[in-house]
């Protein structure tokens, strides 16, 4: 409650006439936002309101539908980030059954961390107007594209939000030259507005008979947090990370400039945007990515029923074979007792021989094994990724560590890793380290160099419910933090992926950026001299005690 009162009094400092003046100067692209589930409730911020049963029913039907949710500003794919966890200020349905009336009858819907106002960004001028407004009023800014962020970085309570989802241009250019570069530097590319997500781009690339290397989700954006934080793909072992493949950004910086950043101009900013993280150096309006030709690839999709007795051998086989598989171009995901791996480098017969150790084990356990050729990335995506999309309504906290090759070479560390995986509440391992990729030097990007040597990006996580107590939610973050520390003990000199990391990551500067942090900080200060952009554990973060971060727990 205290938090809410504070938020409201803060907003009152800016009178409604200034908001309408802001709207006028934006040609009407300022909107107010309320929690998505509000139509189900009869109390909002402790004031009676009329529920809207038909709007509530639509939301209930689409509560886990990422396509639906990504078209709406208030969405956060992990709904806890739209709440204020420390004050239990929330507006949640029961994701296990969105029609469960216990979630919304006799319960109040609160604004939580959802910005009361957002700008539907359409031009550089919209962003410049927001920067001046924030600078003059002290109102914090936040930036959101898809709302997928696992650490809540696309929401700041009481902020003026910049929503980039409707920047939707896409162009294919087989001979793109980054602006200001010599014409000999010509690339096969797709340039995309900041609002397009992977579903849009994979379809567009397919129509142009090329392959865009991107994430394992329909609605993650290609130009926002994904690419600025690292950007992994199951094809990254062969074709690199998002930060390796991006050639140019169009970005509006808080210093008031609209800049094209690439390897020939504004190179410091380009380097910072290639791994320094979203929401930090400016608002990206457009990005250009190198594409590959149409790819045929081998897919290995295996799953078995997990029992306490068969998982040790399963993980041992995965760990023991990983160096060999990495040399053959395999990347993929391990999700508990299922794996989905791809390689563009082997024939079908080679793929079958390569996967034999795990295929025969899974078969022996009564599981299912499919190894087949897909003629394009798009066919693969439609067949394997779309139907198994991660649910986007769960209240979920994750933590992770990049596991370097040294762990897989050492029998001692390998067995420690298996022991640890067996204790996890859930296992999610993107096998995405860019181990065969050598076209971008590590120092051209600013994410932790630990990526370059890593085979696995090991995650665990915990889920809870709409009615879990504040103390228990806090304890879940604490347990995930502790699992992250246990992973860190196995690979103390490695790092972590900032987009899929422990929310309460210890020594986050070193974990996410290694030795690059101090240079990133000076670039941050150059392009954001008045500190208009900030987010949790981002470069130049003002710190936990800043009032923008009151909804994060005092400690995990
Ligand atoms: C279901 C799911 C699947 C995922 N799959 C993958 C995967 O396959 N590979 C992978 O690497 N990661 C994956 N992720 C993690 C993903 O990279 C992060 O969630 C990432 O932050 C998403 O970026 P976004 O811009 O789409 O999301 P948002 O939450 O909108 O933004 C994330 C961050 O970027 C900033 N930002 C967004 N747009 C802009 C912009 N235009 N300019 C400046 N800053 C901006 C925001 O302020 C925020 O800090 C997945 C996440 C989920 C929930
Ligand atoms: C801003 O103006 C547009 C167009 O007049 C209007 O639709 C919108 O509701 C206004 N936004 C706010 C927050 O009042
Ligand atoms: C919500 O989901 C239902 C059924 O799943 C679908 O028919 C409907 O079109 C969806 N509504 C919106 C607004 O997307
Ligand atoms: C999800 O939402 C999209 C967009 O609103 C809609 O087209 C689609 O039908 C929905 N899917 C389901 C399964 O309801
Ligand atoms: C922000 O305010 C400072 C003075 O406090 C001023 O010098 C600067 O020009 C302002 N920047 C923007 C983008 O408005
Ligand atoms: C492709 O890029 C080149 C060089 O940057 C430019 O001259 C050309 O007009 C672009 N073509 C298209 C179709 O945009
Ligand atoms: C698509 O690309 C593939 C591989 O590069 C090529 O063999 C094929 O002819 C192309 N198809 C079309 C329609 O251009
Ligand atoms: C797992 O077990 C369930 C029920 O025991 C069965 O329906 C399912 O097919 C099994 N899955 C696999 C992959 O063997
Ligand atoms: C994995 O390798 C270790 C030695 O490094 C060995 O002890 C173990 O038996 C192997 N496990 C399997 C299932 O092959
Ligand atoms: C880069 O990798 C390719 C393919 O694996 C290999 O042929 C090439 O020799 C490597 N180049 C360098 C400079 O290591
Ligand atoms: C990366 O390192 C190489 C050689 O070590 C150097 O020539 C190059 O300038 C560096 N690039 C950047 C962006 O620092
Ligand atoms: C939360 O709600 C579920 C389902 O409505 C109920 O079974 C459970 O007991 C509730 N838990 C708490 C802590 O109230
Ligand atoms: C995490 O580990 C610390 C240190 O061992 C312990 O004090 C704390 O209780 C643990 N947190 C949770 C939530 O279990």
Whether pLDDT at 16 is above 90? no
Distances (CA, A) of 45 to 5, 56, 114, 252, 555: 10, 18, 13, 35, 27
Residue 11 burial (C-beta neighbours within 10 Å; 0-12, 13-18, 19+): middle
Instruction: Determine the average pLDDT of the residues in 400-426.
Output: 98
At residue 13, the pLDDT reads 56
Report whether residue 61 contacts ligand 3, using a CB cutoff of 6 Å: yes
Q: So where are the chain's domains? A: 9-163, 170-294, 296-375
Structure tokens at 152: 């809540």
At residue 5, the pLDDT reads 38
Whether pLDDT at 9 is above 80? no
For the chain, what's the residue count?
A: 556
At residue 1, the pLDDT reads 36
Dihedral angle sign, alpha carbons of residues 277, 278, 284, 289: positive
Q: Relative to the alpha carbon of 485, which ligand is closest?
A: 13
User: The pTM is what?
Assistant: 0.96
Structure tokens at 138: 């002290």
Q: Is 301 helix (H, G, I), strand (E, B) or coil?
A: strand
- For the domain made up of 296-375, give the CATH fold: Alpha-Beta Plaits (3.30.70)
Report whether residue 268 contacts ligand 11, using a CB cutoff of 6 Å: no
CA distance 100 to 105: 9
Share of the chain above pLDDT 70, in %: 98
CA distance 300 to 356: 10
Pairing of strands 160-163, 117-120: parallel
Buried b (16+ CB within 10 A) or exposed e, 138-171: ebbbbbbbbbbbbbbbbbbbbbbbbbbbebeebe
Whether pLDDT at 112 is above 70? yes
Instruction: Determine the average pLDDT of the residues in 489-494.
Output: 98
Q: Relative to the alpha carbon of 322, which ligand is closest?
A: 9
CA distance 476 to 486: 15
| Atom of ligand 8 lying closest to residue 368 CA | 13
Whether pLDDT at 2 is above 50? no
Q: DSSP letters along 235-246, please?
A: THHHH--HHHHE
Provide the 10 A C-beta neighbour count for residue 267.
12
At residue 409, the pLDDT reads 98
At residue 342, the pLDDT reads 98
Encode pLDDT of 138-182 as tens digits: 999 999 999 999 999 999 999 999 999 999 999 999 999 999 999
Instruction: Determine the average pLDDT of the residues in 196-205.
Output: 98
Q: Which of 257, 273, 362, 368 is nearest to 311 (CA)?
A: 362
Report whether residue 307 contacts ligand 8, using a CB cutoff of 6 Å: no
Say which residue, 424 or 392, is predicted with more confidence.
424
Q: CATH number for 170-294: choose from 3.40.50.300, 3.40.50.720, 3.30.465.10, 3.90.1150.10.
A: 3.30.465.10
**Helical residues (DSSP H) of 208-310, grouped into ranges:** 225-229, 236-239, 242-245, 267-273
CA distance 144 to 162: 6
Contact 110, 84 (CB under 8 A): yes
Whether pLDDT at 3 is above 70? no
∠ CA 448-450-451, nearest 5°, is 85
Report whether residue 443 contacts ligand 11, using a CB cutoff of 6 Å: yes
Residue 465 burial (C-beta neighbours within 10 Å; 0-12, 13-18, 19+): middle
Backbone angles phi, psi at 550, to 5 degrees: -65, -20
CA distance 245 to 424: 33
Instruction: Determine the average pLDDT of the residues in 323-332.
Output: 98
The rounded mean pLDDT for the chain is 96
Q: Torsion over CA of 135, 132, 146 and 81, rounded to 10 degrees?
A: 20
Structure tokens at 549: 């971060």
Tell me the β-bridge partners of 221: 197
Q: Is 148 helix (H, G, I), strand (E, B) or coil?
A: coil
Whether pLDDT at 4 is above 90? no
Q: Which of 25, 517, 529 is nearest to 257 (CA)?
A: 529
Residues with Cβ within 8 Å of 290's Cβ and at least 6 positions away in sequence, in order, are 187, 188, 189, 245, 246, 247
pLDDT band at 308 (very low <50, low <70, confident <90, very high): confident
At residue 390, the pLDDT reads 73
At residue 15, the pLDDT reads 78
Backbone angles phi, psi at 268, to 5 degrees: -65, -40
Tell me the β-bridge partners of 260: 250
Ligand 11 site-directed mutation target among 441, 452, 515, 520, most atoms within 8 Å of CB:
441
Ligand 13 pocket residues where CB is under 6 Å: 475, 478-479, 482
Instruction: Determine the average pLDDT of the residues in 187-207.
Output: 98
| Atom of ligand 3 lying closest to residue 61 CA | 2
Whether pLDDT at 480 is above 80? yes
Encode pLDDT of 60-103 as tens digits: 999 999 999 999 999 999 999 999 999 999 999 999 999 999 99
CA distance 322 to 434: 14
Q: Is 18 helix (H, G, I), strand (E, B) or coil?
A: helix
At residue 301, the pLDDT reads 98
Share of the chain above pLDDT 90, in %: 95
CA of 264 to the centre of ligand 11 (A): 14
CA distance 62 to 297: 33
Half-sphere exposure (CA, 13 Å, Cβ side) for 475? 6
Give the distance from CA 424 to its chain's centroid. Answer: 22
At residue 7, the pLDDT reads 41
Residues with Cβ within 8 Å of 338's Cβ and at least 6 positions away in sequence, in order, are 301, 302, 303, 304
């Amino acid at each position: 409650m205290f938090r809410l009162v504070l938020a409201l009094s803060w907003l009152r400092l800016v009178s409604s006439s200034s908001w309408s003046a802001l709207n006028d100067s934006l040609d009407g692209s300022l909107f107010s936002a309320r929690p998505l589930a509000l139509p189900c409730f009869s109390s909002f911020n402790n004031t009676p309101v009329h529920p809207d049963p038909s709007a509530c029913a639509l939301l209930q039907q689409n509560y886990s539908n990422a396509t639906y949710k990504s078209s709406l500003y208030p969405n956060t794919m992990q709904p806890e980030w739209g709440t204020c966890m420390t004050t239990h200020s929330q507006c949640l349905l029961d994701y296990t059954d969105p029609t469960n009336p216990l979630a919304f009858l006799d319960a109040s819907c609160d604004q939580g961390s959802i910005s009361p106002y957002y700008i539907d960004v359409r031009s550089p001028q919209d962003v410049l107007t927001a920067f001046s407004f924030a600078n003059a009023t002290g109102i914090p800014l936040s930036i959101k594209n898809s709302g997928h962020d696992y650490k809540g970085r696309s929401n700041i309570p009481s902020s003026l939000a910049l929503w980039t989802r409707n920047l939707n241009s896409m162009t294919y250019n087989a001979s793109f030259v980054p602006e200001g570069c010599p014409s000999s530097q010509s690339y096969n590319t797709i340039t995309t507005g900041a609002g397009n997500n992977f579903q849009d781009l994979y379809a567009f690339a397919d129509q142009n008979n090329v392959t865009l290397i991107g994430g394992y989700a329909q609605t993650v954006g290609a130009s926002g947090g994904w690419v600025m934080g690292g950007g992994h793909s199951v094809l990254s072992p062969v074709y690199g990370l998002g930060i390796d493949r991006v050639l140019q950004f169009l970005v509006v910086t808080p210093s008031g400039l609209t800049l094209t950043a690439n390897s020939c101009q504004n190179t410091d900013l380009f380097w910072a945007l290639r791994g320094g993280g979203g929401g930090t150096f400016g608002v990206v309006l457009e990005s250009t990515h190198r594409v590959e030709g149409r790819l045929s690839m081998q897919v290995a999709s295996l799953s078995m029923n997990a029992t306490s007795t068969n998982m040790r051998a399963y993980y041992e086989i995965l760990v023991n074979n990983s160096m060999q598989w990495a040399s053959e171009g395999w990347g993929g995901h391990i999700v508990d007792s299922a794996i989905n791996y791809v390689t563009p480098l082997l024939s079908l017969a080679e793929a079958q021989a390569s996967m034999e150790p795990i295929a025969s084990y899974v078969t022996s356990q009564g599981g299912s094994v499919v190894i087949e050729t897909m003629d394009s990335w798009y066919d693969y995506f439609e067949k394997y990724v779309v139907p198994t999309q991660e649910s986007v309504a769960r209240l979920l906290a994750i933590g992770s560590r990049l596991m370097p090759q040294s762990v897989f070479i050492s029998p001692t560390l390998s067995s420690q890793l298996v022991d640890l995986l067996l204790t996890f509440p859930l296992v999610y391992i993107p096998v995405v380290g860019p181990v065969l990729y050598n076209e971008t030097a590590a120092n051209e990007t600013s994410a932790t160099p630990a990526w370059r040597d890593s085979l696995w990006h090991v995650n665990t996580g915990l889920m809870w419910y709409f009615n879990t107590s504040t103390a228990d939610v806090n304890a879940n973050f604490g347990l995930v933090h502790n699992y992250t520390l246990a992973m860190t003990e196995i690979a103390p000199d490695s790092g972590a992926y900032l987009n899929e990391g422990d929310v309460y990551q210890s020594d986050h500067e070193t974990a996410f950026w290694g030795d690059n942090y101090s240079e990133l900080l000076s670039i941050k200060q150059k392009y954001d001299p008045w500190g208009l952009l900030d987010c949790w554990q981002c470069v130049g973060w003002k710190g936990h005690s800043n009032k923008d971060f009151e909804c994060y727990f005092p400690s995990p």
